[in-house]
Amino acid sequence: MRSDTIKQGLERVPHRALLYATGIPRSEMKKPFIGLASSFTDIIPGHIGMRDLERFIERGIHTAGGYPFIFGIPGICDGIAMGHSGMHYSLPSRELIADMVETIAEAHRFDGLVLLTNCDKITPGMLMAAARIDIPAVVVTAGPMLSGRLSGKRLSLVNDTFEAIGKFKRGLIKKQELDRLEMCACPGPGSCQGMYTANTMACVTEALGMSLPGSATALAISADKRRIAFESGRCVVELVRRRVTARQILTRQAFENAIMVDLALGGSTNTALHIPAIAYEAGVDLPLETFDILGRKTPHLANMLPGGEHFLEDLDWAGGIPAVIKRLRKNLHNTMTVSGRKVFDIADAAVVVDEDVIRPIGKAYHKEGGIAILRGNLAPDGAVVKQSAVSPNAMKFEGTARVFDSEEEGMKAILAGKIKPGDIVVIRYEGPKGGPGMREMLSPTAAIAGMGLSESVALITDGRFSGGTRGPCVGHVSPEAMEGGAIGIVRNGDRIRIDIPKRRLDLLIPEREIQERRKAWKPIKPKITKGYLARYAQMVTSAGSGAVMRSSL
């Protein structure tokens, strides 16, 4: 066992002395040492219930004959960090999380890991670490939040708080209702209720085979989630005994399965950053184009919030990810999962309880999957749009550019009523380098939707979007403005064409004009010049390659 490095031999007397100081009995020293990386915190609703899950994971590890050691991993709530300088830190925290899990697991020579996570960057960060370290690992996602309730209506965070700001500005709701919405939209523990980034990544993790069946959708408050936590503890010890490591699960075929499930669910565009980043750590070549190739043949089967009507609780009650896998079985690869069962075995045992929540392929909501990759003279290295959240009337959109060099400038103009039908809001210098940190644009996109402009106004950015974004919103424009990408030379009044069916994003000016503007272009001064974000900006790659950190300057 890896842990023998710190447990066995004469020269390890000091090491054993320190281990005994923790209270470990001598009888437990021969057992596998299992690290439990817990991202418990009081500030993230999706993580406040983790103390309970830690206990059940510990019980599972003990039951199977392992010995657990809990260590802490921090997290950021994207909703709380949204719309201000705090969002600069969200995506960069993914790399810190991966580094921290790697550091603790390698320093203490754990034989296996249980990764307790839930929200946006914590889950991919932990998966990146598992792939990098390549030891037995099981991921436990802490589960989605129940829907809120107000006057008989079900509520969710994005549709009923972020978009409510725009509705209030238009006079569609009164202050009293706004106050009630913010008290009722999020009733307790769990990740936000729609197919936003946290829940999308939970579903991706299960589809990859790194979580036990049912883990992604089992509600945060449920006894089922506790049982999954217990079984995950047992499972990792069995993986240690069988010497099944993370990279044996994280194969190219497993990544393709995960992308197809993501596409069928209409998941967050952030998966186009996170899945390639995890694949990079696993040593798997997974170009951005994979999303589009698979998207052409993967139907959109679940009409989830924010673009649709169903909550995560509906998906859970309809059969969860095993039921989605059952629908997609003929397209999927029969890969191994941490449960010891293969994908087809899970699919064959699954039951689709609600055929409207998880539709048959012949009655799909859309023939193509939720994410499309656009290219053109504005995005030669690619851009990403959640096409399942775009109305048919806005799938082709030509408009006039309104250009802003930061999210704050764009948001100010939107709330001031300066954006009109037919405009395309261009928010640039918000990419991985330019942001730095590639902030999410949920505040401006939600304000546009809340003001009733989601079909008549488009938004493009070298930043990214929350899973809660809907409408003709194109993100991840690569190369970004800070790298000299074409988005950096767009001017107010330029015409831009978005053609999702043809996968095009084009600036409609002559090529000669484009070249002249490029010669005159100069980047803006870096927005942040000290601390972690300054170092991050120097080392991060483009969104088109997953915004991973280069190993050297």
For 416, the token pair is 């001031």
Q: Which helix (H) or strand (E) holds 125?
A: helix 122-133
Catalytic, out of 3, 232, 454, 466? 466
Residue ranges, CATH 3.50.30.80, the chain: 371-545
Residues composing the chain: 553
Average pLDDT value over all residues in the chain: 96
pLDDT band at residue 442, thresholds of 50, 70 and 90? confident
The reported pLDDT for the residue numbered 550 is 84
Biggest CA pair distance of the chain: 77
Determine the pLDDT at residue 201. 98
Tell me what pLDDT residue 307 has.
86
Q: What are phi and psi of 115, to 5 degrees?
A: -110, 105
Is residue 2 over pLDDT 70? yes
Q: DSSP string of 49-80?
A: THHHHHHHHHHHHHHHT-EEEEEE-----HHH
Q: What is the pLDDT of residues 488-543, one digit of tens each?
A: 999 999 999 999 999 999 999 999 999 999 999 999 999 999 999 999 999 999 99
DSSP 8-state assignment for residue 28: G
Instruction: Look at residue 296 in the predicted model and tell me its pLDDT.
Output: 96
371-545 topology per CATH: Glucose Oxidase; domain 1 (3.50.30)
Question: Which structure tokens are listed for 338?
Answer: 């941490």
Where are the CATH 3.40.50.2300 domain residues in the chain? 31-146+188-349
Task: Using pLDDT thresholds of 50, 70 and 90, give the confidence band for residue 159.
Answer: confident
Percent of the chain predicted with pLDDT > 70: 100
The CB-side HSE value for 401 (13 A sphere, CA atoms) comes to 26
What are 129-141's pLDDT values in tens digits? 999 999 999 999 9
The tens digit of pLDDT for each residue in 271-311 reads 999 999 999 999 999 999 999 999 999 999 999 998 899 99
CA dihedral 263, 269, 275, 280 (to 10 degrees): 140
| Token pair in block for residue 171 | 């006079």
Q: What is the pLDDT of residue 7?
A: 97
Does position 107 have pLDDT exceeding 70, yes or no? Answer: yes
| 466 classed as catalytic | yes
Specify the pairing of strand 137-141 against strand 504-507: unpaired
- Give the pLDDT confidence score for residue 552 in this predicted structure: 58
For residue range 48-87, list pLDDT tens digits in order.
999 999 999 999 999 999 999 999 999 999 999 998 999 9
What Cα–Cα distance (Å) separates residue 210 from each residue in 113, 140, 215, 410, 457? Answer: 11, 9, 10, 39, 39
Residue 531 makes CB contacts below 8 A (sequence gap 6+) with none
Q: Give the confidence band of 481 by pLDDT, cuts at 50, 70, 90.
A: very high
Bridge partners (DSSP) of residue 173 are none
Domain 31-146+188-349: which CATH class? alpha beta
Which structure tokens are listed for 267? 């998941």
| DSSP string across 426-482 | EE-S-STTTTTS--B-HHHHHHHHHTT-TTT-EEEESSB--TT--SSEEE--SS-GG
pLDDT value, residue 466: 86
Query: pTM, whole model, 2 decimals?
Result: 0.96
Give the position of tokens 């203490």.
Answer: 108
> What's the token pair of residue 346?
């899970």
Q: How far is CA 215 from CA 188, 454, 527, in A?
A: 19, 34, 40
